Amino acid sequence: MYGHFEKDRELVMDLIAMLGQTQQVQTVLANQQQGGKQLLTGLSGSAKTLFLATVYKQQRQPLLIIESNTFQANQVAEDLANQVNSDQIYTFPVEEVMAAEMATSSPEAKAERVRTLSFMVTGKKGIIITSIAGMRRLLPSVRQWQDGQLTIDSNSEIDPATLATQLSEMGYLRDKLVGKPGEFAMRGD
C-alpha cells in the first residue's frame, strides 16, 4: 500500500518537472520575474493544482494565490498540500462579511492569520493563499507588524511597568480582570 503512494508521488513529481518546461509555465515565470501579475483562468481541480505547484517549484519568491472566497482558498491549500510541503503553505482566512467575521471568527483562524503575516515579513519562499476579502483587509505596515512583536519565554525577566506600557502600545486594553482576547491585567499593583 505504501509503495503505491510513493510511486504515485514520483509520477506527480515527474509530471511537475515536465510541466515546468512548457511555454505557459515559462511565460508565467518570466512575467513574475519582471514584477508582473498573472491571472489564471480556465483551470480547475487537479490541473489547477499541478499548474500552481509547478510555478511555485520553479520560482524563487513567494507565490500569492487569491481565490474568490475562503472556501475555495482552503480547497486550493488542501490540494496543494499534496504537491508541496504543507509547512510552505500559509492561508489568510477572512469571512466575506465583517459582521460574520466578528460573530464567528475562531481562535484558529486568527492564529493562522498571525502565522501568515509573520511569514510574509520574512520574504522567504512560500505560498500564501487568501480570498478577495482577505486582500481587502486593512493590515498594519511591515514596520508596525515587526514593532508589535513581543517574545516572552520562561527565562525572560521583564519589568511589569515596561510590559504594561508595551502591551498598551500594541493595542491591548488594561482591565482589572481579563475577560476576552486583547485585554491584560496586572496583579500585585
Predicted confidence at residue 91, as pLDDT, reads 95
Taking only the tens place, the pLDDT of each residue in 164-189 is 898 888 788 899 888 887 888 988 75
Separation of CA 39 from chain center: 20
Judge residue 81's burial from the number of C-beta atoms within 10 Å of its C-beta, 0-12 exposed, 13-18 middle, 19 or more buried.
Answer: middle
Predicted confidence at residue 101, as pLDDT, reads 58
Predicted confidence at residue 119, as pLDDT, reads 93
Q: How far is CA 129 from CA 7, 25, 62, 80, in A?
A: 28, 19, 11, 10
Q: Residue with C-alpha cell 480582570? A: 177
Predicted confidence at residue 78, as pLDDT, reads 93
Predicted confidence at residue 31, as pLDDT, reads 77
d(CA 125, CA 57): 10
Taking only the tens place, the pLDDT of each residue in 48-71 is 888 888 888 888 888 899 999 989
Q: Is the pLDDT of residue 3 over 90?
A: no
Other residues' Cβ atoms within 10 Å of the Cβ of residue 76 = 20
Of the ranges 22-36, 128-142, 164-178, which one carries the lowest mean pLDDT score?
Answer: 22-36
Q: Which three cell numbers stand for residue 6?
A: 510513493
d(CA 157, CA 48): 50
Rounded to a whole number of angstroms, the distance between the first and last alpha carbons of the chain is: 63
Residue 27 parent element (H or E): helix 23-33
Predicted confidence at residue 97, as pLDDT, reads 67
Percent of the chain with pLDDT over 70: 87
Beta-bridge partners for 90: 128
Pairing outcome for strands 63-67 and 89-92: unpaired
Q: Which three cell numbers stand for residue 156?
A: 525572560
Q: Kindly state the average pLDDT of the residues 130-154.
A: 87
User: Are the beta carbons of 59 and 29 closer than 8 angstroms?
Assistant: yes
Taking only the tens place, the pLDDT of each residue in 74-83 is 999 999 998 8
